[in-house]
Structure 1
């Protein structure tokens, strides 16, 4: 069973606030797969998600370390932020020995690499064509550096955990 929701973020602040709202809904064992081009806003969304979870920051792109753990400051689940871009397959992700059951795991570029679980959320962030060629050079994938243009988010909740919706 899958539930699809659509949202738009007019600017980086709106993207961040969507992340905050989503982060408040997450708990240990939740998996989020983020997909979008460089500069789409994956890391900005994840910063908001971390704020909503109440984890220690700053939440930055884990591009050079592959996975970064942010412990909770409020007694909740930690956030494990994964950049799966450089991983060849799911076996390399397994080698990282991530705590999928005891943490909230957000995997950027994780589509097709992270084995599906009973329930997970996939978020695809689209930005307008031609939006911010300069953003393609942004290693931090931060929409604050890209031109301020709206983003469209397609949020798909898979499995029983999300049968009543993700943010709706």
Structure 2
């Protein structure tokens, strides 16, 4: 949605349930054409957040990591069962070399993402891309970037969100 106000927000997520709840809140706001880019190290909670997004959208089946299939589509449940009519396309760019050493050329990864035809999916679905920072933002005018990390002695998860205010606002 070009021209919307971009904003930032930091959320402390003490438990995995809090990470899922943040995802659910984001999912309740997503519309076809929205792109969510998830970033963070292994174990930071990207897939947990994506599962919450799926709950908020009301999609069929559990949302699990698509690492070995690269992309998975989750159709919306019927409205009577909580579906919002928005399909979720969940992508994991890790297998494209993102997050590995040596880091691949971002242009090469972006080209591989383009081969998945995600821009077509964006006309009818909300797309969530794990490990997509720096390689997937070109797919939409104003994606929501969520950087997850663990910090402090108890490794509490922290999410830093940047994107359209309608998706970031509490």
Superposition TM-score, scaled by structure 1 size? 0.81
Q: Is the 8 A contact 2:28 2:53 kept in 1?
A: yes
Moved over 3 A (4+): none
Deviations 1:54-100 (A, max 9, x none): 00121000000000000000251110000011224211111112312
> What are the within-5 Å matches in structure 2 for residues 35-114 of structure 1?
35-73=39-77, 74-87=83-96, 88-98=108-118, 99-114=121-136
Tell me the secondary structure at the aligned position of residue 4 of structure 1.
strand
For residues 164 and 64 of structure 1, do their structure 2 counterparts lie closer, same or farther at Cα, with a shift above 3 Å needed?
Answer: closer
- What is the distance in 1 between the residues matched to 2:124 and 2:34? 9
Query: Where does the alignment leave 5 or more consecutive residues of structure 2 unmatched?
Result: 78-82, 97-107
Q: Please, what is the CA RMSD of the aligned residues?
A: 1.8
- Which one is further off, 112-121 or 30-39? 112-121
- What is the distance in 2 between the residues matched to 1:122 and 1:71? 23
- Return the match for 1:34 from 34, 38, 63: 38
Deviations 1:6-27 (A, max 9, x none): 1011101111111111100101
Matched residues, number: 147
- What is the distance in 1 between the residues matched to 2:166 and 2:127? 21
- What is the distance in 2 between the residues matched to 1:21 and 1:29? 17
Query: Where does the alignment leave 5 or more consecutive residues of structure 1 unmatched?
Result: 132-148
1:120: Cα distance to partner?
1.0
Q: Is the 8 A contact 1:22 1:167 kept in 2?
A: no
From the two aligned structures, give the one with the greater helix fraction: 2
Q: Is the 8 A contact 1:90 1:115 kept in 2?
A: no
